Every structure is written in structure tokens, then in C-alpha cells.
Amino acid sequence: MAHPALAQAFVDNRERAQWHDKALWFVREKRDRMASSVPEWELLRETASNIKRHTQSRMAEYLEQFEANATKNGIVVHWAADAHEHNEIVLSILRRHSVKRLVKSKSMLTEECHLNPFLEEHGIDVVDSDLGERIVQLRKETPSHIVLPAIHIRKEEVGECFHEHLGTEKGASDPNYLTEAARNHLRERFCRADAGLTGVNFAIAETGGIVICTNEGNADLGVGLPKIHIACMGMEKLLPRAKDLSVFLRLLARSATGQPVTTYSSHFHGPQPGCEMHVVIVDNGRSEILKSPEFRRSLDCIRCGACMNTCPVYRRSGGHSYEATVPGPIGSILTPLQTPEKHNTLPFACTLCGSCTDVCPVKIDLHQQLFTLRELLDNKRLIGTSKKLSMKVVSGVMSRTWLFNLLGGIARASLRFMPRFLIYNPLNAWGKQRDLPDAPKQSFRQQYAERQKQKGGGKS
């Protein structure tokens, strides 16, 4: 199913759609408070963007430097051209050590490579240890958000899931109680694991080490106990110098969840005594994106999720409607670039409001890229000449009525009920750079329907 149909299904459950919208707006507001409390916020974004731009221009050199220094630190470095090779490398490390039980912390890359099902097919017990990820894993779902994997799930549903799998009391839905149950359940898994696998937030060329940021401490427990640590990274995670971290750590958590910094920002530069540490560097289409001047900056993404939290379409259509590992504005660029046939409707899941570009900590020109991508898809440059595919694109545009209807309705309601400062807040997509007219109480469509009804003739 394409995005419009899935989005329609999500908004059909109005109560849930509104709750989802509010939950994300709450995170977005926390981000705004944090950003505005740092006087040099814009300078930080600019600097981060420039560091990334430089890194891209010398990516091969920095990767080689990272590899040489990591090797000196006793880390084994692997290279994977695609998802399949990545999965095979991980499996071969696990097999060599007869690993039966693997504990993972959050890694969007391994989601992208579908590592979990692959390992499970080969008899490995895989436990996701981030609380949100554990919830979606137990529910046999995928994360709907890159930072808040279970943002689409109500606490009552978590309660049901934990009752079934962890034996919590039936009907219990208190987040404190449920988190405590998960803590105890996962502690036991941490202690029994034969290997720990993590993602990578930043890899430092100059020192040959990696940095992993979490709030729960799950990555550190996951790799601190077993003898094997495998870290999987997309090649774009690279930074040249240790001090570049100062810029990125100031931006990441503030943009992601509105915290001053993540609880744990752990720097790994080698295995513990008697243990092994592996880093798998993955391409999987990234070098293709790097070729394109229009889209290469999408590789600068540090996966903070801010563009999702602010996106009016994401908030109201839910992460699963994108059917992509990374949803939201950045996912609507990266995913169609990697699989245009399957994801050609995503660049159209966007109002071009530009709010994503405004919040992005590394200043990716998200809405411009989305616009360019639409043109490419329309011109079929990206998806070849297949008629069937171009038809799908057309249907993607035409069947967006749900979006127009919904967004129109929200805009009208906002104008009437929202305090002025919310509408004219510089970060608010709807008020941005616009002198807004008085909102009509009814849309043209509603007015038309009403009139038809009064005439007694039309159907509403």
C-alpha cells in the first residue's frame, strides 16, 4: 500500500491520530525551549553543517584514517557494500564465538538491513533492549519513529503486551510499573547475553573510536557484560576530530527530545581486556546518494528525529504509513532514493511548509530536496520508463485528498482557536512568513455541501 492509503487508515481513527499529533507536538515544543535557551544555536547549526560538508568532501580519506586508528586501538573493522553483506558479517562474527543470545541497542541501520529476522532465521535469539524497541519487537512491529520507536502505542496497549509476554498484572497501564517490569526482564537478558550489538552515533577519524548516545543506559549494559561488542555504522557517521563532538553533542539531544544532552554519551576506543570489538562500516546505497549534488546533503542526517516531530504530515499520518525504516521528511528523501519503485509516493507526503528545514540541526535543505525529488519522480528520471510506475506516482498525487482535507481543517481550526503567539511563533509552519487571513468557519467544500443540502438537492 502506498502512503496515501496508509495515512488515510491512520487518520480514520481520529482519536488516536489526534493523540499522536499532540504527543509529537509536545516533543517539538521541548526542542524549541532548548534551542532558544542556547544563544549560539544558529552558529552551532551552521558549524555542524560545515563540518559535515567538509567530511563528505574527504570521506574516503577519513574512512581510511578511521580504519587505521581503530585497528591500532584493537578494533576489527569490516566493510559491507550492502545490507546482505552486513548481515553476513555480523552472523559470521557471532558464529565464530558460538553466540546464541544477542542483546541489541537501537540501531536504525540494522533495521534498514533487516538484521533481526536474518539472525533469527539462523537460530540466534535477538533481544532489542531500548524500551520502545522492545515494545515494538514484542508486538512484532517495526519502530514508527527513529528516536521514539513506540510513539504510536498507547500505554494500555503496552500493558496488554507486557501482561502477555512479561506477566505483568492484567489491565495495568502505569508507565512506572511497566518500565520497572521491563527493567527486570531486560536485566536478566543483559546478564545472559553472549554478545552485544549497537549502532553508532558518531565515529571519529582522528582517534579511531565511536560514540553512542542513550538515555536508558542500555547500550552500555549491553556491551559492558559480554565479551563481544559489534557496532554497525553507516559510513556517513564519520567526524574528522574529537572536538567536533562538542558541536554535535550540543545539538543532538536538544533537537531530539529537548534534553540538554543524553544521559549517557559513551566513547568507545577499543575492547575491554580479554574481549573483542568490531565495527562494521556499511554503504548500502550511500555512495550513490553521495554522487548526487541535489541529495548528498541528506547523508548529513544525525537521526535526531526533529523533522518528524515538527512535520504536519508525519504527526497526523503516523510513522508506519511511510513503510520505511526512516519515516518523516528525511525518510521521504532517503527511502525513495534507495528504492524508488516501492516508495515513489513519499516525496508527496509533504506540504512544502519548510518546518523540517527550520529545525534540522545540520541544516539539511529538506523541503527543497523533497520538491526536487518530486520533479524527478514526475519526470521518471529516478524510476525509469515503466508505465506502471509512473501511474503509481500519478495516483500518489491524486489520492492525497485525505491530506488536503485534513490539513485544511486543521489550519482553519488553528486560526480560530490558537493564541496569536502560537500562530506567529517563527517556528510554526502555519504562521511562517505569512500574514494569515481570518479563517472561514467552513471550508469551501463544506460551504458547498451545506448549500447543496439547503437546496435540498445535493448529497453531503
Partner 1 sequence: MIAKAPKSSRETILAKIRAALPQSAPLPELEATGPWQTFEDREARFSEVLKFVGGQTVHVKTVAEADAHLRTLEPWAKGKVRCTMVPGLGDTTFDLKAINDPHQLENVDYAVLRGHFCVAENGAIWVTDDTVHHRVLYFIPQHISLVVPASQIVNNMHEAYARIRIGEHRFAGFISGPSKTADIEQSLVIGAHGARSLTVYLIDEL
Q: Which residues bind ligand SF4 (CB under 6 A)?
A: 255, 301-307, 330, 359-362, 364, 366
- Measure the CA–CA gap between 288 and 295, rounded to whole angstroms: 10
The site map against partner 1 for 408-427 (x = CB under 8 A) is: --------------------
Are 56 and 299 a contacting pair, CB within 8 Å? yes
d(CA 428, CA 8) in angstroms, rounded, equals 24
Euclidean distance between CA atoms 306 and 24, whole angstroms: 10
Q: Which does 361 bind (CB under 5 to 8 A by kind): partner 1, ligand SF4, none?
A: ligand SF4
In this chain, which stretch among 8-16, 181-189, 326-334, 366-374 interacts with partner 1, using CB under 8 A?
181-189
Positions in 262-301 near partner 1 (CB under 8 A): 262-272, 281, 283, 287-288, 290-291, 293, 296
Q: What is the distance between the alpha carbons of residues 263 and 414, in angstroms, rounded to a whole number?
A: 36
Contact status, residue 377 vs residue 392, Cβ threshold 8 Å: no
Among 168, 257, 298, 345, binds partner 1 (CB under 8 A): 257
CB of 298 to ligand SF4, least distance (A): 7
Nearer residue to partner 1 within complex by CB, 208 or 327: 208
Q: Which listed residue (13, 50, 339, 379) binds partner 1 by CB under 8 A?
A: 50
Q: Which residue, 103 or 366, has its beta carbon nearer to ligand SF4?
A: 366
Q: How far is the CB of 310 from ligand SF4 (least distance, A)?
A: 8
By CB under 8 A, residue 235 contacts partner 1: yes
Residue type, 211: V
Is the separation of the CB atoms in 233 and 270 below 8 Å? no
The binder of 450, among partner 1, ligand SF4, none, by C-beta within 5 to 8 A per type, is none
Is 175 a residue that touches partner 1 (CB under 8 A)?
yes
Subset of 110-169 contacting partner 1 (CB under 8 A): 129-132, 135, 148-151, 154-155, 158
Q: Judged by CB under 8 A, which of 5, 16, 18, 54 binds partner 1?
A: 54
Look at residues 267, 263, 191 and name the one whose alpha carbon lies nearest to residue 231.
Answer: 267
Residue 101 found at the interface with partner 1 (CB under 8 A): no
- Closest CB to ligand SF4 among 367 and 374? 367
Could you say which DSSP state residue 441 is in? S
Please tell me the distance from the alpha carbon of residue 398 to that of residue 419, in angstroms, as a whole number.
34
User: What grid cell was written down for 87?
Assistant: 548481515
* Cα 270 from Cα 449, distance rounded (Å): 68
- Give the residue from 273, 318, 311 showing the smallest Cα distance to 14: 318
Q: Which does 35 bind (CB under 5 to 8 A by kind): ligand SF4, partner 1, none?
A: none
Question: What distance lies between CA 223 and its chain's CA centroid?
Answer: 23
The verdict on 367 binding partner 1 (CB under 8 A) reads: no
Tell me whether strands 228-234 and 209-214 are parallel, antiparallel or unpaired: unpaired
Q: How far is the CB of 295 from ligand SF4 (least distance, A)?
A: 12
**Residue 100's Cα: distance from chain center in Å?**
29
